[in-house]
Amino acid sequence: MKTFLWLVKREFWEHRGGFLWAPVITGGVFLLLNLMGIITAEVIGARHGISFGASGELRNVMSQMDAGDMSKVGMALDVAMYSSMAIITVVLGFVVFFYCLGALYDDRRDRSILFWKSLPISDTSTVLSKVVSATVLAPTIAVAVGILAGMAQLVMVAITLSFHGINVWQLLTLAHPFRVMGNLLGYIPVYVLWALPSAGWLLLCSAWARTKPFLWAVVLPVASGLLISWFGIMGLFNLPTSWFWREVVVRGLFSVFPGGSFTATNGTAHTLTINGESGLDVLNLGHSWAAIGTLNLWIGVAVGAALIAGAIWFRRWSDDS
Amino acid sequence: MNAVITARGLRKHYKNTIALDDVDFTIPSGRIVGLIGPNGAGKTTALKAILGLTPFEGELHVLGLDPRTQRNKLMEQVCFIADVAVLPRWMKVHDAIDFVEAVHPRFDRAKCEALLKRTKLTSNQRVKQMSKGMIVQLHLALVMAIDARLLVLDEPTLGLDILYRKEFYQRLLEDYFDDDKTIIVTTHQVEEIEHILTDLMFIRDGKIVLDTDMEAMGDRFVEVMVSVDRADAARALRPIDERQVFGKSIFLFDGADKTVLEGLGETRRPSVSDLFVATMKGTYK
């Protein structure tokens, strides 16, 4: 166990740039752009004499709101909090994708695998430490950064509005920062399970390819998709060709991008629909965890486990360094 | 005799070449074995088999363990330096020490730090900022701080200048090697390790063509410097090699009668490199 934690730590040392600095910089840039946007808006507003705040109109608007409207304000603030996370999420997807592709390939290319293999560490631990780094460590750091950026964003919006006569604390009590945090953290286990087939496939290519793992990882599924489309093979199973593209190519390659699991419960992600009580709790756990009940997710887990086992086998026996 | 490695019928072939062809050998404890052979003779394959890095056929026991199935346990007792520059480039000196300390049960941090004090390396230095020689110093310090029973060195000094090369072997001998440890080393710079070897193994085309300890080698192989007039007499004794130096002929004999040879001229023990060249004649033809 101690060894395993150090293996994960080692991954963090090596990939600090992707795991930590990429989300931090993304969050920072996002906040900066927002701040600049707000300042620009304020300046333009002041120059044109649009100062609804001073006349107290906005305050009046607030005071005239009923409970339902207030909760919508709260939700809007929550969405402001999520917005920074959304950008970080996209970055996280790329980081995890390329991390997995390189994880078992880069050290073979520079031959430092011979150093790692000279230590009493099993190949199973090595590969699993990379799975954990990709699917648990990276998203956890991203969520932590996302939460901090979200809080900063929330405070920024609240302070701006307070210049226009609205009470900061009143606004902050309308938002649900802890619920947002819980939702984001609570989504990580779903992400781990959902990302497994992708992580497994990318790691397998990473462990197996002699050169250019990216090409293999992408070309193999895409080429088979094209073949299947041309020859209409899916017809034999009474499935449309689009099934293969969606469930094998896209699922296999892009499940490391967070949020994909929402497609398991409905055709498209509809995380921002505002209907009924739970609709106001954006990304609530009941919604995001619904994927756990789908066969799609568990088949993915099984396939992912098999692919990871394959990656371990190649890591143990591939002999090209 | 406590055998560290025993190999029986060791075979390994790649697609269309045979890397190891039914090899048998035994390496006892407390030896420094030079595994010498031309490029592509199967040295590295043999070492990889010993380290469990490659599948093979036949029987091989390293410290009583099968490298194929008990690799993790084996690597607690075996250290390995491939050629230079296999330390990960992003790593800092203190990262490397922390990591090895955490995962290796037989690592002695104090010893490693003491060894590094003698070098110019600083704890915050990254491998990518180091010269080849410095990387080897770090690697050697890490490895020497591990109380292992078998150390495998595959061209450890490749690309190093002579100062680093000398220091490398001197450190190994002075601060590391003892009766409980065994070192296997492959290198092309035979002259530099000749004086530290206790045993010699020549490998050619996947076969062990010579397996001897240095003492026995001196008994078996004799070099004689013969003047021109007696050269034909020397040739009649079927030398395995002949070369000319300053108008005299130097003959290399395998298992010839020493007293007869002494009658022909000045005798001496051949150098490993001369013996190697004589044994490997025609390898690349």
Q: Is the pLDDT confidence value at A79 over 60?
A: yes
Task: Please tell me the number of Cα atoms within 13 Å of A291 on its side-chain side.
Answer: 30
**Residue A122 pLDDT class (50, 70, 90 cuts):** very high
What is the DSSP track for A225-251? HHHHHHHTGGGGGT--HHHHIIIIIIH
For chain B, what percent of residues have pLDDT higher than 90?
52
Query: Minimal Cα distance from A3: which residue of B?
Result: B103
pLDDT at A57 exceeding the cut of 60 = no
Place of tokens 């996209």: A90
Cβ atoms of A209 and A318 closer than 8 Å: no
Return d(Cα B111, Cα B175) in angstroms, integer.
10
Q: What is the mean pLDDT of chain A?
A: 84
Burial class (CB in 10 A: 0-12, 13-18, 19+), B78: buried
CB contact under 8 A, B79 and A114: no
Chain A residues near residue B100 by CB distance under 8 angstroms:
119
Distance CA A278, CA B186 (A): 70
Amino acid residing at A316: R
Q: Any chain A CB within 8 A of the CB of B97?
A: no
Confidence label for B5 from pLDDT (cuts 50, 70 and 90): very high
Which residues sit opposite B25 in a β-bridge? Answer: B7
C-alpha span between B182 and B66 (Å, rounded) = 18
Q: Tell me how far apart the alpha carbons of residues B44 and B41 are, in angstroms, rounded to a whole number.
A: 8
Determine, for residues A107 and B88 on separate chains, whether the beta-carbon distance falls below 8 Å.
Answer: yes
Residues 6+ apart with CB under 8 A from A206: A100, A101, A102, A103, A104, A105, A213, A217, A311
Q: Is the pLDDT of residue A55 over 60?
A: no
Whole-number pLDDT of residue B285: 65
Residue B183 pairs in a beta bridge with B32, B151
Provide mean pLDDT across the span B1-19: 87
Looking at the predicted structure, is the pLDDT value of residue A267 above 70?
A: no
Strand residue runs (E) in chain B: 3-13, 18-28, 32-36, 57-62, 78-81, 150-154, 182-186, 199-204, 207-213, 221-226, 241-245, 248-254, 266-268
Please give the ipTM for the structure prediction: 0.90
Residue B126 has pLDDT above 90, yes or no: yes
Q: Does B90 touch chain A (CB under 8 A)?
A: yes
| Residue of chain B nearest A118, judged by CA positions | B80
Cα dihedral A112, A113, A119, A125 sign: positive
Looking at residue B75, its pLDDT comes to 93
Is the model's pLDDT at B55 over the cut of 80? yes
Whole-number pLDDT of residue A281: 64
Ramachandran region of residue B205, left (φ > 0), alpha (ψ -120 to 50) or beta? left
Q: What is the pLDDT of residue A307?
A: 96
- What angle separates helix B93-103 from helix B109-117, to the nearest 10 degrees? 160
pLDDT band at A132 (very low <50, low <70, confident <90, very high): very high
Tell me which residues of chain A, numbers 204 to 243, contact chain B at a CB-CB cutoff of 8 Å: none
What are the structure tokens assigned to A267, written together? 């055709």
Q: Which helix (H) or strand (E) holds A44?
A: helix A22-47
Give the residue-averaged pLDDT of A184-210: 93
Partner-chain contact A120 B55, CB within 8 Å:
no
The mean pLDDT value for B100-120 works out to: 94
Q: How confident is the model at residue B49 (pLDDT cuts 50, 70, 90)?
A: very high
| Cβ-proximal residues to B39 (8 Å cutoff; 6+ apart), any chain | none
CA atoms of B265 and B25, how far apart (whole Å)? 36
Check residues A260 and A303 and name the one with the higher pLDDT: A303
- A199 — pLDDT class (breaks 50, 70, 90): very high
Q: How confident is the model at residue A50 (pLDDT cuts 50, 70, 90)?
A: low
Average of per-residue pLDDT across A125-150:
95
Average pLDDT, integer, range A247-271: 75
The region of weakest confidence among A134-138, A146-150, A229-233 is A229-233
pLDDT at A269 over 60: no
Contacts of B48 in chain A (CB under 8 A): 319
For residue A9, what pLDDT band results from cuts at 50, 70 and 90?
very high
SS3 (DSSP) at B70:
coil
- Looking at residue B233, what is its pLDDT? 83
Cα separation, A92 vs A138, whole angstroms: 7
Q: How many CB pairs below 8 A link A and B?
A: 70
Which residues in A lie closer than 8 A to residue B103 (C-beta atoms)? 3, 6-7, 119-121
What band does B280 get if pLDDT is binned at 50, 70 and 90? confident
Other beta carbons within 10 angstroms of residue B115's beta carbon come to 22
> Which residue has better confidence, A286 or B41?
B41
What is the distance of C-alpha A305 from the center of its chain?
A: 20
CB distance B144 to B71 below 8 Å: no
Asked if B79's CB is within 8 angstroms of A115's CB, the reply is: no
Which range has the top average pLDDT, B34-43, B117-126, B242-251?
A: B117-126
Percentage above 70 pLDDT, chain B: 98
Q: pLDDT class for A261, splitting at 50, 70, 90? A: confident
Question: For residue range B129-155, what is the model confidence (pLDDT) as tens digits?
Answer: 999 889 999 999 999 999 999 999 998
Please say if the pLDDT value at position A278 is more than 50. no
B102 shares contact with chain A (CB less than 8 Å):
yes
Q: What CA–CA distance (Å, rounded) separates A57 from A55?
A: 5
Burial status of residue A99 (CB atoms within 10 A of its CB: 0-12, 13-18, 19 or more): buried
Q: Does B73 contact A112 at a Cβ distance shorter than 8 Å? A: no
> Which of A119, A123, A312, A319 should one mutate to test binding to chain B, selecting the residue with the greatest count of B CBs within 10 A?
A119
Q: Which of residues 113-142 of A touch B (CB under 8 A)?
A: 113-122
Span of A241-245, B121-125, B215-219 with lowest mean pLDDT: A241-245
**Both tokens assigned to B167:** 């220091």
In this prediction, residue A15 carries a pLDDT of 95
Structure tokens at A246: 């969606």
Provide the terminal-to-terminal Cα distance of chain A, rounded to the nearest Å: 28
Angle between helices A123-132 and A295-317 (to 10 degrees): 140
Mean pLDDT of A165-187: 82
Distance from CA of B67 to the nearest CA of A (A): 12
pLDDT of residue A280: 53
State whether the Cα torsion A217-A223-A226-A231 is positive or negative: negative
